Chain A
């Protein structure tokens, strides 16, 4: 007891001293220089590998030449906007843009409700041990890479010798026509991430006061009414924030997923912007054009993020920053 009192007093004196002394760089640096030492490597990383590439964005407005640094290269035609104009007149780019938006929108519409439903189901599960095992199993697909998933997909969904078609005696081209491929793509995305995405909703669900459920029960509410009137309103803000943030990524594009799942029959549906950039830039050495496309994508992403954050605040939610 006495010991505790003494340390509190000591701490108070310490705080007071810190306050009284005023600020002096010398004592400050003497005490905290090690903090700056810790920051040296991370900051060097961010400057070299995150901010230096931003200087190379200049290449989007220059002639296609990476042998010289971009600021020494001559400007591209049309006041430097040659590559942007070329991209938007390029049918392949327009297709990639459309594919990116279509796939992301489908993901958003079909993929958003699934984890919510699954989280509510898990929440209603009455057997705690079984619930824990279920969760572990549902998280499993999240830890598989798209390369693995695509290799399994080939075995399961092939038109002629795929297991599903053989098991049911059908010949459905799950990955052979563009629309079917889109559906398979969305379904596999849900399969991989749905369980993982329940984590955040389950966390929100634990914050709902049990008293609300008891009160609802006293009022004679059954399971469905409790879900409708207590559970869903309780996670409403989480749902809105996540939905809006996903809306912000509508033009963002994954690379691994469409790239590994694609096949020559469905390239009209599977080539997204990230694949376009890879093929034109890294495989085809059209660096200026693909940098321009990348810049367009990054800018639209930032604008969408700002918009969706504004939207979140408008809905009366906290927003992200």
Chain B
């Protein structure tokens, strides 16, 4: 009798548990709520896309919301033919790739030896690395250092000062710790030294975490803004401006003085807005294409980092 009623009112699950219609209504409500949350996350980016594809007039009239008006790709063409933007995008891409490779190399170099628990001085080295996570000298001392090293207003100011993240070293080290000791011993019995063991045993096993850290470093560099703002002040360093700083200045100028925006090569306020939105698309799409494929990996990376950090 009771099973029959359950069959009528609820769906039978594999393990024999029975879901009542009340639970199913709850499931639906939660799903709908999650759908709304997704919309909240997506609509702003969608709006940017729509604006970048709309005509300048429609943008000035403020008619554009969720569907482009006066569909055209003029803004994208303008961005791709304006030397300033193209150069900045290429430069940022190059910088991102280079910095990511350098950072990964250094992070592995720092993390791997620390997994040898019998390493003499290992505890001390571990301490001097971790200490910098809790106490830092601050903005100005770093700035003075770069000034003394003659790195200000050169590309080095964007590459070197933040090329190792302690947090990422911890993630890497924890992952290496997870590799069974027996594998290392087996390699050593076969006569492999530490570096050979690293290259042949550890690195092939660590591809997921390397992908995660590559994503973290690349996103950090691609989205990096404040270091460029502080370290590339001279107008002679403008050619090294990454896309975020360029975008910040373009938007700031266009909201403050439209004459200055006109001097920068824009024809009217509306055109500059569609171009801004197209630039925003260029500055976000590379990351948005990459991150979903790495989701499985970075989720575990974040979890390791939070547990150990």
Contact = CB atoms under 8 A, between A and B. Distances in A.
B260 interface: no
Main SS of chain A's interface residues? helix
A23 B225 CA distance: 50
B283 interface: yes
Contacts of A111: none
A7 B187 CA distance: 11
B38 A320 contact: no
A66 B33 CA distance: 57
B144 A34 contact: no
Interface in B267-309: 273, 276-277, 280, 283-284, 287-288, 291-292, 295, 299, 302-303, 306, 309
Interface stretch (A84-92, A97-105, A137-145, A228-236): A137-145
Contacts of B112: 35, 38
Contacts of A305: 134
A38 B113 contact: yes
Contact of B140 (A121, A282, A302): A282
Interface residues of B, number: 90
Contact of B37 (A31, A36, A118, A163): A118
A191 interface: yes
A282 B230 contact: yes
B106 A143 contact: no
B160 A49 contact: yes
Contacts of B283: 145, 147-148
A136 B38 CA distance: 9
A71 interface: no
A42 interface: yes
B251 to A, nearest CB: 5
Contact of A10 (B139, B189, B247, B255): B189
Nearest to B281: A148
B54 interface: no
B194 A57 contact: no
A278 B230 CA distance: 8
B230 A140 contact: no
A143 B287 contact: yes
Contacts of A301: 134-135
Interface string B100-136: 0000001101101100100110000100110010111
Given A11-B186, A42-B109, A294 B139 contact: yes
A282 B113 contact: no
A5 B236 CA distance: 68
Interface stretch (B2-10, B43-51, B69-77): B43-51
Interface residues of A, number: 94
B136 A298 contact: yes
B106 A41 contact: yes
A163 B62 contact: yes
A38 B110 CA distance: 7
Contacts of A131: 34
A315 interface: no
A292 to B, nearest CB: 9
A151 B251 contact: yes
Interface in A246-278: 255-256, 259-260, 274, 277-278
Contacts of A137: 38, 41-42
A143 B223 CA distance: 8
A243 interface: no
Contact of A291 (B62, B141, B164, B169): B141
A152 B47 CA distance: 9
Given A39-B110, A144-B284, A14 B185 contact: yes
B100 to A, nearest CB: 15
Contacts of A200: 302-303, 306
B30 A146 contact: no
Nearest to A8: B182
A199 B276 contact: no
A54 interface: yes
A140 B125 contact: no
B194 A34 contact: yes
A281 B280 contact: no
Contacts of B27: 124-127
A256 B109 CA distance: 30
B47 A155 contact: yes
Contact of B109 (A41, A52, A150): A41
Contacts of A155: 47-48, 51, 273, 277
Contact of A223 (B26, B141, B142, B223): B26
B143 interface: yes
A140 B141 contact: no
B40 interface: yes
Interface string B126-168: 0011001011111111111101000000000000110110000
Contacts of A51: 128, 132
Nearest to B283: A148
B65 A287 contact: no
B98 interface: no
Contacts of A43: 110, 125, 128
Given A32-B194, A294-B140, 12 more contacts: A10-B189, A15-B185, A34-B194, A42-B106, A50-B132, A52-B145, A54-B141, A134-B35, A138-B38, A143-B223, A148-B247, A302-B135
What 10 A-B pairs have minimum CB-CB distances, sorted nearest first? A294-B138, A145-B223, A53-B137, A42-B110, A53-B141, A56-B141, A35-B113, A126-B27, A203-B303, A50-B132
15 contacts: A10-B189, A45-B164, A66-B144, A135-B295, A139-B295, A145-B223, A147-B225, A147-B248, A148-B223, A148-B247, A155-B47, A277-B139, A281-B139, A282-B230, A291-B138
